[in-house]
Every structure is written in structure tokens, then in C-alpha cells.
Amino acid sequence: MKKAMLRAFAAGAGLTILSASGLAQTPNFSKYVALGDSYGAGFGSGCLVARHQAFSGPNVLARQLGFSDFQQPTISDPGIPTCNALLTLVPSVTFGPISTKTGTPTNLALGRPYDNLSVPGFKIADVSDTVSGGLADVVLRGKGSALNQALSLNPTFITLTIVGNDILTAPGAGFLLDGVTATPLAIFTAKYNSVAAALKASGRTGVFLGTGDVRQLPLLTAIKPVVTDATGTPILVGGQTVSLLGPRTTSTCSTAPCPLPPGTLVTLGANAPQAALGGKSLLGLGFGIPCAVAPSLPQCGKPLPDGSFSPPSTVNVGVLLYPDEVQAIDDRIRAMNDVIKAAASANGFIYFDTYALAQSLGATGFDMGGMHLTRDFVTGGFFSFGDAVHPSNIGYMVVVDAVIQLINSAYGTSVPRPDFSAALFTPDVPAAGTAGVGPLDTSVFFTEESWRAFFEEFPPYDPSLKVVLPAGSDPDAIERAPVVRVEPRRRDP
């Protein structure tokens, strides 16, 4: 009743009010539609699946707004692509798909567009320009672009969660290069403004979400830039930590490989066992580790690879982000968020500062009823199994709860905050006996598959570019083990 009254009140009023943050149009919650990417879809643990989609930001927000008919492109277990699960925690962290099969869409017969039109892998341009390919086939079903389908539903309230795929390839590949690992800012700006303008309409409000601080992602924080033991504890020599080695020279090191300068980030790829490396990881073989510390490792003393682009079509994935690269990516993210913020303001929407939320989580974690959650890889609770980029069900709840508080603050509404209990205590695993879910497929380690999956989820700006995972900088080692290539994302039906 309370929710029905809330909706009725909001739908019936064409008034404007003074909100806590200034003038804001009274929101009309009579029809809510979500546009976005994997973060809007509820993607997690490397897959789209109903048990994650139930906790997608749009679905939770719709429930809190009182909707009982909010429709999503639900997918059964074991998900599309097949969901990951943690296989082992010790002696090393490994993941694997939960099945050799994939799930199936369970809501394809819906006679109208879905209310959640978020498509994993979408960049801002795809919102208006892409109609098929990959999971777009499941979400859009040949009914036109996400933007057109959204507008056909005559929404009065919209959330737009799209920017991640326009920038996250850069930290994953280890370098920022416009047109290769990031959408050029001018193009992003033009496309975002175009979508925002198309969404603008009298009486329509909503929230545009920015993207977070990549320095808080487990992808970039799980591995310390120093030599550690098997438990992750830094090894001390003479009371000092020992920096990993990279290919760049520094002011104190004129001949590469050189110790990584402070502020360098190492991606999870450095610890990914690869078939091309005989099932070992770069760090496991000794890349980046001074021989004085581990002389028995075969590749000790050789640098970890930095990312690069080999024209015309090869993205050489690296595992290092030097401080200038970190700064460049951060500057770009801030610039993109500024674009989103301005577009929101210009078109009657409010802006959600995902960047600030990410920094807060990174600094202090998140406490709920005596439970302390962090962004730590695997054990922190905020991120999902293995992909180190997408939130868990708990993480999605944290974000949507913050969005709801922003809505209430900006619009003066009283949208109830969501109940975290189910996300906190429900095991994020398929129900026992779920069809299609077999024993964990241990034949493939997650870490390499997950690494490859990252670039399927966050492909280069031009999806026809080839992504090459590093097999080390030693030519002999590369010769011994064939380079792993990730096929470009299929866009055709």
C-alpha cells in the first residue's frame, strides 16, 4: 500500500519542489526503464544469470519503487557465458566454470521490450547504434536498438549506467590508447550527449551513473607490486620490500629490467596460469622477480610485460600500469564522469557519483550489522567470483542503496532502502539439482579463461582488433608456447 501510494502520488503530480540539493523536478515513477551495460544488467561471476539479475540495480530499484512487473531478460543457470565459481583458495586461488553448458533465456516470449535494457559489453555508442550480437540478441531480440526500445515504453523515470566498456579495456590491457583501449573522449562526449538528449522529455527524470575509480578494482589491487610469498605477504630483504621488475628504466635504474616505481599497479593477469606457459603464470615462472630473491625460478630477472599496441590490429596485453598510465586512465575516467554529470544536468537528470562511492569502499570498506565487507579479491564480498571487476550480489545492493539515497536526497522522495538480507546470506551458487549444472569443470583454470573473458566483456574500441595475452617477454618462452589469442567479439546475429 505504501509503495502504491508513493507511485500514485508521484505519477499524479506535475509539480516541482525544492529538494535538499536545490531545484529538482518531482520524479514520476509510473514507468521505469533502465539502459546500461553489464553493470546495469547485473552481470557477475563472468555471467548473466537470473540469480544475479535479481540483484541488478534496476531490478532492486524497481522493487523499491513498487513495481511488480519489471521485466528483465532472465537467463537460467549455468548462465551466459557459463558462470564461474571458486575452485580452490589454497595453495592458490583458482576459478572454473560451473558447467560445460550454458544457460538459456527464460523470458524471451515477453511481447514488449524489457524494462531493463542493459546489455553487457555495450559502449555508449551501442545504446543507439547496435541492434544485435552477443548478449544483445538476448536483451534486444531484434526489436531495435536499446534506446528506441526504451523510448517506446514511454518511461517517466530512467537510469543510464553506461561508461565502463568505454574505458575499462585500458586498465585490463595495461595501457590507454584512444581508439584501441578506450573510446576517444570527443566521441564519448558526442555520443553520450546524443543519448542524453534523446532521453530528455517533459516530465521525465532519472539518474545517470558515472564509473568508479579503477584503482579500487581487485583487477589492479589484488597483486602487490612487490615480491610476496605464497600467502601474499611481502618478502623483506634487509628489512625492505623487494619491488617487482618492469621493462621501463627509471631515474635510479638506467638499464632495464628495473624495479617498478612507487604507484605502479600490477594486474591480476600476472598471476594467471596460462596454458601457453605450461600452466604457470608469469609470476610463477619468475617474470618480474629478481634472481637474488628467487634464483631457482626459470624466468627470474626478466621484466613483467607492459601493454602495447602493434599496428595495425594487435593489442598486446600487459600486466603493468606505470604511474603515468594510472594517472592517464584516472584523468580519462574523471573527464568521462564530467561529461555524464553535465549531460545529466542539461537534460533533467541527476548524477550518481560512482567514483566517490568506489573510493569510500576502498578506503573503509562497508559495514552492515557488524559485517565488514571490502573490495578485496575473493574474500572481501563486494566483488563477484573471479572477474575482479563486476560486483557480487552484495556489491550491487550497496550501489543501488546509495542510488536510492541520492534519489531521496535530490528529489525529496521517500523511496524505501532495500533489504540486504537476501544478498548477504543467500549462497551465490545454483540451487541444488539445477538442470544444466554439472560438476565444476576443472579442466580449465579460470584465471586464463577469466582473463580472456575480461576482453570479451570489455573489448577494444574496435572489436575487430586482436587481443594477445602475454606469454612473457622472453622470445624463447613465447616460441615454446603459442600465443593465446582472444577472438574478437561477435557482433553479427
Binding footprint of another protein on the chain (CB under 8 A)? 45, 85-86, 88-90, 367-373, 378-381, 384-385, 392-394, 397, 401, 416-421, 424-429
Q: How far is the CB of 233 from another protein (least distance, A)?
A: 13
Handedness of CA 251, 252, 257, 259 (dihedral sign): negative
Nearer to another protein, 91 or 475 (CB): 91
Q: How far is the CB of 420 from another protein (least distance, A)?
A: 5
Residue 396, classed as helix, strand or coil, is helix
Cβ(178)–Cβ(56) below 8 Å:
no
Q: How far is the CB of 45 from another protein (least distance, A)?
A: 8
Nearer to another protein, 316 or 384 (CB): 384
Q: How far is the CB of 22 from another protein (least distance, A)?
A: 22
Nearer to another protein, 264 or 384 (CB): 384
Q: How far is the CB of 393 from another protein (least distance, A)?
A: 7
Q: How far is the CB of 51 from another protein (least distance, A)?
A: 11
H/E run at residue 327: helix 323-346
Q: How far is the CB of 240 from another protein (least distance, A)?
A: 21
Q: How many CB atoms lie within 10 A of CB 360?
A: 15
Q: How far is the CB of 29 from another protein (least distance, A)?
A: 18
Nearer to another protein, 60 or 177 (CB): 60
Name the β-bridge partners of 48.
Answer: 80
78's grid cell: 549455468
Nearer to another protein, 86 or 153 (CB): 86
Distances (CA, A) of 261 to 150, 220, 301: 47, 15, 16
Q: How far is the CB of 345 from another protein (least distance, A)?
A: 27
Nearer to another protein, 63 or 248 (CB): 63
Cβ(326)–Cβ(216) below 8 Å:
no
Residue 265, classed as helix, strand or coil, is strand
Nearest Cα residue to 306 out of 295, 315, 297, 296 = 315
Nearest Cα residue to 453 out of 324, 269, 216 = 269
Residue located via cell numbers 626459470: 298
Preceding amide of 257 cis, omega within 30: yes
DSSP assignment of 381-442 equals BSB-TTTSSSB-HHHHHHHHHHHHHHHHHHH---PPPPP-HHHHHS-SSPPTT-TT--S--T
Nearer to another protein, 395 or 472 (CB): 395
DSSP assignment of 329-368 equals HHHHHHHHHHHHHHHHHHTT-EEE-HHHHHHHHHHH-EEE
Nearer to another protein, 175 or 446 (CB): 446
Q: What is the DSSP letter of 287?
A: T
Q: How far is the CB of 75 from another protein (least distance, A)?
A: 18
Residue located via cell numbers 557480487: 392
Cβ(298)–Cβ(281) below 8 Å:
no
Name the β-bridge partners of 178.
Answer: 182
CA distance 53 to 341: 26
CA distance 253 to 255: 6
Please list, in sequence order, all residues whose beta carbon lies within 8 angstroms of the beta carbon of residue 259, skipping any fewer than 6 positions away. Answer: 243, 244, 245, 246, 250, 253
Nearer to another protein, 311 or 439 (CB): 439
Q: How far is the CB of 388 from another protein (least distance, A)?
A: 13
